[in-house]
Amino acid sequence: MERVGCFQFVAEPYLMDCRGRVTMPMVGNYLMHAASGHAGARGFGYSEMTERHTAWVLSRLAIEMKAYPKAYDRIKLYTWIDEVGRLFTSRCFELMDEEGNTYGYARSIWAAIDMQSRRPTLLDIEALSPYIDPRPCPIEKPGKIQPVEERTEGVPYAIKYSDLDINGHFNSVKYIEHLLDLFDIEQFMRQEIGRLEIAYMAEGKPGMPLALHKEEIASGHYGMAICSEGKALCRAAVTWR
Amino acid sequence: MERVGCFQFVAEPYLMDCRGRVTMPMVGNYLMHAASGHAGARGFGYSEMTERHTAWVLSRLAIEMKAYPKAYDRIKLYTWIDEVGRLFTSRCFELMDEEGNTYGYARSIWAAIDMQSRRPTLLDIEALSPYIDPRPCPIEKPGKIQPVEERTEGVPYAIKYSDLDINGHFNSVKYIEHLLDLFDIEQFMRQEIGRLEIAYMAEGKPGMPLALHKEEIASGHYGMAICSEGKALCRAAVTWR
């Protein structure tokens, strides 16, 4: 089995945003599809993890886009494992057009949790390591994100059916959708997001009262957070250009 | 070119709901994918319509599900044209599992509008008619939906970036997502939706203040609507079992 996986998509016109471009949450869905497919084909996918009563949990994600695919563009998405540690593994992505031009890169950090206790479990370093590939992913690694929740008024939000994933928790991509929806539609018409980074810190569950926070830290650079009763479930940083 | 098109999907685990099943909005996305692909391959897709300064607009949709696909299920989606009139065309769908068991059926009614005036245009009956197929679609046609908006208090909603489609209007599938999110999460755990029917009546645009309405008309049978300043943008009927 090759170390680098390649997945192909067509940017469907009925999924485009008002700019006629793929949305950042849609990019997130493409990444999840590729991560799931790549892991599954190599014996450490959703089914294999479930058999061992474990599940992959996305811990951090950074996406940098130079250009966004438009309707009918054919997208090639490459994914590979970058690093494997005792508790975390790092997976990289490159999105390309048909001619081999890069739309963008992404980096993700994953942990495996025990499905019962929801606590991290040790990774099988020996089984995962043969898939590590040195392919370059020239974007900054996801790092520490400045907290903004204590300095800003949050927008209240109640978790809904469409927000939940197969484990009954807030879906990772839906967090991104709700955070980006804090920006005015006009901002998406004038500018585009160069980099999005998100750190998943705690699981969101039905019934939790949420607050969505946003603060402009520097020109075009925003700190964001989703909190429940003062505790951050996720923090994000968004850079516009 | 065959009259009936067949599209294949795998129910991705990262897109499942908290029941571990495909959601109704996801079924909607599969239908849009198949409709778009079937029309495109036969010379009346998004690109060809755009060249003529026209666009397909979904007018009515009815979906009946006997069973919902679960993670990793392979889904075959058949679609065909059922009727062609001067202003409307009817497209049917059947969703099947790998063994040929039917998950469900759907019926949709489409109009073509002029992109400038946003008014209906006459359909090219001669060009579309050769694709009409008599394949059976044994569910009730989408019909008149009882208005409930005057009898119920609406939940206010502001249109966000993620709600918009490529034309800058409220995305047809997002209407379904927002309406179903009016039901408690517990209801999805206890019951499932047997039939959803929706009539799209006017286009939702950024800045419109919306109200989401829901009323139980008979046991397990709900009337719904999304309104802006008293005018219905869409009405829906949902039957649980």
Tens-digit pLDDT profile for residues A133-177: 999 999 999 999 999 999 999 999 999 999 999 989 999 999 999
Q: What are phi and psi of B118, to 5 degrees?
A: 60, 20
The answer to whether A14 contacts B161, with C-beta atoms less than 8 Å apart, is no
The answer to whether A162 contacts B181, with C-beta atoms less than 8 Å apart, is yes
Pairwise CA distance, residues A36 & A28, whole Å: 12
Query: Most A CBs within 10 Å: which of B14, B22, B178, B240, as the mutation test of the A interface?
Result: B14
Pairwise CA distance, residues A103 & A66, whole Å: 5
Residue in the block written with tokens 């049978």: B221
Mean pLDDT, contiguous 10-residue spans, chain B (241 residues): 96 94 98 96 91 94 98 97 97 98 98 94 95 98 95 96 95 97 97 98 96 98 97 98 96
Number of Cβ atoms within 10 Å of the Cβ of B70: 14
The answer to whether A162 contacts B25, with C-beta atoms less than 8 Å apart, is yes
Pairwise CA distance, residues B226 & B213, whole Å: 6
> B32 to chain A: which residues are within 8 Å by CB?
12, 14
Half-sphere exposure of B17 (CA within 13 A, CB side): 23
Number of Cβ atoms within 10 Å of the Cβ of B83: 14
Buried b (16+ CB within 10 A) or exposed e, B153-166: ebeebebbbbbbbb
Q: A88-96 and A74-84 as β-strands: parallel, antiparallel, unpaired?
A: antiparallel
Q: How far is A106 from chain B (nearest CA, A)?
A: 18
pLDDT at B61: 98
pLDDT at A90: 98
Q: How far is CA A22 from the centre of its chain?
A: 15
- Nearest CA-CA partner of B236 in B116, B145, B158: B145
Strand locations in B86-230 (E): 88-96, 102-114, 155-158, 193-200, 209-218, 221-228
pLDDT at A233: 98
Q: What's the first-to-final CA gap in chain A, in angstroms?
A: 39
Take residue B116 and report the two structure tokens written for it: 């400038």
Q: How far is B170 from chain A (nearest CA, A)?
A: 10
Pairwise CA distance, residues A156 & A171, whole Å: 18
Sign (positive/negative) of CA torsion B65, B67, B72, B77? negative
**Residue in chain B lying closest to A187 (CA):** B161
For chain A, positions 77-106, list CB contacts with chain B under 8 A: none
Pairwise CA distance, residues B101 & A133, whole Å: 42
Q: What are phi and psi of A176, to 5 degrees?
A: -60, -45
Q: How far is A37 from chain B (nearest CA, A)?
A: 9
pTM of this structure: 0.96
The answer to whether B33 contacts A12, with C-beta atoms less than 8 Å apart, is yes
Q: Find the CB nearest B14 among A36, A160, A183.
A: A36
Q: What are phi and psi of A194, to 5 degrees?
A: -85, -45
- Nearest CA-CA partner of A5 in A33, A47, A29: A33
The answer to whether A165 contacts B18, with C-beta atoms less than 8 Å apart, is yes
Q: How far is A29 from chain B (nearest CA, A)?
A: 8
Confidence band (pLDDT; 50, 70, 90) for A127? very high
B47 touches A: beta carbon within 8 Å? yes
Pairwise CA distance, residues A16 & B168, whole Å: 10
CA distances, A118 to each of A165, A169, B187, B193, B201 (Å): 15, 12, 25, 31, 46
Beta-bridged to residue A67, according to DSSP, are none
Q: What is the ipTM of this complex?
A: 0.95
Confidence band (pLDDT; 50, 70, 90) for A107? very high
Sign (positive/negative) of CA torsion A36, A41, A47, A52? negative
Pairwise CA distance, residues A77 & A87, whole Å: 26
Q: How far is CA B152 from the centre of its chain?
A: 24
Residue in the block written with tokens 């043969």: A130
Greatest CA separation for chain B: 50
Q: How far is CA B215 from the centre of its chain?
A: 20
User: CB-based contacts of B199: which residues, under 8 Å, 6+ apart?
Assistant: B59, B60, B142, B145, B234, B235, B236
Q: How far is A95 from chain B (nearest CA, A)?
A: 20
A231 touches B: beta carbon within 8 Å? no
Pairwise CA distance, residues B47 & B221, whole Å: 39
Pairwise CA distance, residues A181 & A186, whole Å: 11
Strand locations in chain A (E): 5-10, 54-65, 74-84, 88-96, 102-114, 155-158, 193-200, 209-218, 221-228, 231-240
B51 touches A: beta carbon within 8 Å? no
> A200 to chain B: which residues are within 8 Å by CB?
none
> A168 to chain B: which residues are within 8 Å by CB?
18
Buried b (16+ CB within 10 A) or exposed e, A123-138: beeeebeebeeeeebe
Q: Tell me the one-letter amino acid at B104.
A: G
Pairwise CA distance, residues B109 & B90, whole Å: 5
